[in-house]
Amino acid sequence: MSGELGTVARLYRNSLRLRTSTALGDPVATVLNLRRGSDGHAAYERIRARGDLVRGRSGLCMSASYPVCNEVLRDNRFRVAPTSAIRLKLRPRPDQRTDFLVHPLDDSLASANPPEHTRLRKLVAPLFGAAQMRARRTFVEELVERQLDRLDRAEPVDLIDEFALRIPSLVIAELLGLPPEDHDRFAWWGLEFGATVDGARGARERHRTHVLLAELTDYFAEVTSRRRKDPGDDLISALTTAVDEGAMTEAGLVSTCQALLIGGFVTTANIIGNAVIALSAALDQRELFIADLDLAGQVVEEALRWEAPAQYSVRVAGEDVELAGHRLSRGTPVVALLAAANRDPRVFADPGRFDIERPNSRDHLSFAAGVHYCLGAGLARMEGEIALRGLYRRYPRLHQVGRADYCPSRVIRGPQRLMIRPR
């Protein structure tokens, strides 16, 4: 499919073309040219106002419709579009220890299509089953209590650095068998990856992405090499067996470990941060939650609906198809605006309101749908629920101080710095 992704690649690399199309009123280009870290919902609503499927000047299509996005995500005629379409082809750096360079999304099952995706998912999915999650619940609860102590200050504290990143980072490190003292490195990689995931524009950004991926590749190549010699009771050890049996390549192993690490904590950190921002603004909802902390799971679902951690996902028509009354030729890229679909008024009443009693919050598309439904959704939900319940039990009157600093990305939406006053 790489040859069919030229339209996406040219759009992301050619910032002048994007700016020109934006200036000419192209709503699709406007979304792709949003300032990184900005709130895109006004631009998404302009897409919705144009119809269920909007074709931009470039030929790329975009949808803010829940039914259309849901269909695109579930229909296997639409293929996953890797982010390699929007960056330079990766090559090992001269200072790199490994002889290959892989990307957490492009080279893992996240960008694979059936039947390859099905085969790879079967290798990893059992490690994220319900029984495995239940077995780790006590570990997460104890971790949350320890981390809450870090917030016990009279002065403002950064919730993201001291809590929201640490909980999922330390959980996924335990799951993968990685040393918890490497947390600061993991957190840095997660923030850097969020800032580069929507494509590098210019030499400086390409260099930044290259350095990040070289560090990630070297780290996990070394870890997997050690684990092969001295296996343990962890996910990486289990996956090295798959490599030895020929079910996965070495590069596939490294990229899968990268994807599990970064995906394993960035999404949860954004759930926690976005929920706290929403509850700080909607005080009636905060009071409801404080009065009944068993609503923590519902807070997680509404936070996911209200602000999708991944704002959109790209698919490409694998054959000529009809979508929302439009005939799309093979190779046509379609951007499913997940964040906009989650606020479709035909599905969610008063969609801009944060409502933890909303009966259908869980119908959101923030974890995608179909064969690419998020593998770690259960873990993220559990971590978010335990973290938010503990946070508001210990500090029921915590409130946001100042404005949040958001991840400088068009795709990833969540605060990278959020000052709160716990008391």
Looking at residue 6, what is its pLDDT? 41
- The pLDDT, as a whole number, for residue 233 is 84
Q: What is the pLDDT of residue 90?
A: 55
Q: Is the pLDDT of residue 87 over 60?
A: no
pLDDT band with cut points at 50, 70 and 90 for residue 85: very low
Over residues 258-269, the pLDDT tens digits come to 888 888 788 999
- Which carries the bigger pLDDT value, residue 103 or residue 409? 409
Q: What's the farthest any 2 CA atoms get from each other in the chain?
A: 61
Average pLDDT, the chain: 87
Judge whether 12 and 199 are in contact, CB under 8 Å: yes
Q: Indicate the domain borders of the chain.
A: 2-421
Q: Which of 31-35, 128-132, 219-223, 362-366 has the lowest mean pLDDT?
A: 128-132
Cα 276 to Cα 164: distance, rounded to the nearest angstrom: 10
Is CATH 1.10.630.10 the classification given to domain 2-421? Answer: yes
Residues of the chain with pLDDT > 90, as a percent, come to 53
Is 70 exceeded by the pLDDT of residue 41? yes
Q: What pLDDT is stored for residue 199 in this prediction?
A: 64
Task: Read off the pLDDT of each residue in 144-150 and give the average, rounded to a whole number.
Answer: 94
The mean pLDDT value for 24-53 works out to 91
> How many other CB atoms are there within 10 angstroms of residue 270's CB atom?
31
What pLDDT does 88 receive?
Answer: 44
Question: pLDDT tens across 326-359, in order?
Answer: 999 999 999 999 999 999 999 999 999 999 999 9
